[in-house]
Structure 1
């Protein structure tokens, strides 16, 4: 039981370090952070793979037939190698695809709000506002993808740093 708890903490601390570094890098310099983030993701995957190898080694010492940690390690190592070519191929398409998805989601949200009205004299203004914002952001991403993408990266960076702080707080709360 103590070994399982230690392994869980290793994963948690690796996640905290990754989230904090990625968030800080993205927030400070969203334009030039792609390669750094890809290296960081690759290092994270290698770290998870190494922890999984250690888990597999501990299981094999206890004469277990469970090979799933080794499978996890191999998948993590392969993803760490493939992340650079895949990311560089898909990144130029990301803002436009995200814009189209948000546009479609906004239109669907609008018609869903109109169709799901339960009361005749109540207008779902918040749903209309939300769907309108989704449509506007979708249009902005389709027609001006890179300026909006920079803004989203900054929001993502702040979000990742907040997640790291929350993960750290949970580590301290559940340590007992």
Structure 2
């Protein structure tokens, strides 16, 4: 059980690092951050693949038939290689896609905060506030994609940094 807990923390720290770096890059230069973010996403996917390969290796040592980590590793590597050609084709749809992703993420964040409240007797106001911000940004991008792109990238940068900080705090709270 301790091994799985450590693996979970590896995934969480990789996510925190990715969110913080992506947020800083986007916040500093939103107009020219696409290639840097694509490289960062590729590095994140490779890191995810390495952690998944390590999980698979640990499971293989216990003679488990679970091949899920290996499938995750292969899919992550393939996505890391295909991200550049796919991203440049999908770039015109980026504001709308990001709006939908933010909307879904905001709704999930809100309901996760409500579920976590059952286990911890504290009202997660910061999680509620953050999820509402994500929902508003998502709706704005879906319905007004092109006028909001630059502002959205700056807010996305701030949001990613905020999400990294919240992940860090949650890492400390939910040991």
**TM-score by structure 1 length?**
0.71
Distance 1:39 1:47 in 2: 12
Contact 2:31 2:150 in 1 (8 A): yes
2:55 corresponds to: 55
2:85 corresponds to: 85
1:148 to 2:163 alignment: no
Q: Secondary structure at the match of 1:60?
A: helix
Distance 1:44 1:136 in 2: 25
1:19 corresponds to: 19
RMSD between superposed Cα atoms in Å: 2.0
Deviation at 1:137, TM superposition (A): 7.9
Distance 2:141 2:55 in 1: 48
Distance 2:148 2:22 in 1: 19
Deviation at 1:136, TM superposition (A): 10
Contact 2:141 2:148 in 1 (8 A): no
Which sections of structure 1, spanning at least 5 residues, go unmatched? 102-133
1:171 corresponds to: 171
Deviation at 1:148, TM superposition (A): 2.4
Decide whether aligned partners of structure 1 residues 65 and 89 sit closer, same or farther in structure 2, where only a CA change above 3 A counts.
same
Distance 1:170 1:30 in 2: 28
| Within-5 A mapping of 1:6-155 | 6-95=6-95, 97=96, 138=143, 140-141=144-145, 145=146, 148-155=148-155
Deviation at 1:94, TM superposition (A): 3.0
Decide whether aligned partners of structure 1 residues 68 and 158 sit closer, same or farther in structure 2, where only a CA change above 3 A counts.
same
Distance 2:60 2:141 in 1: 55
1:4 to 2:4 alignment: yes
Distance 1:15 1:174 in 2: 16
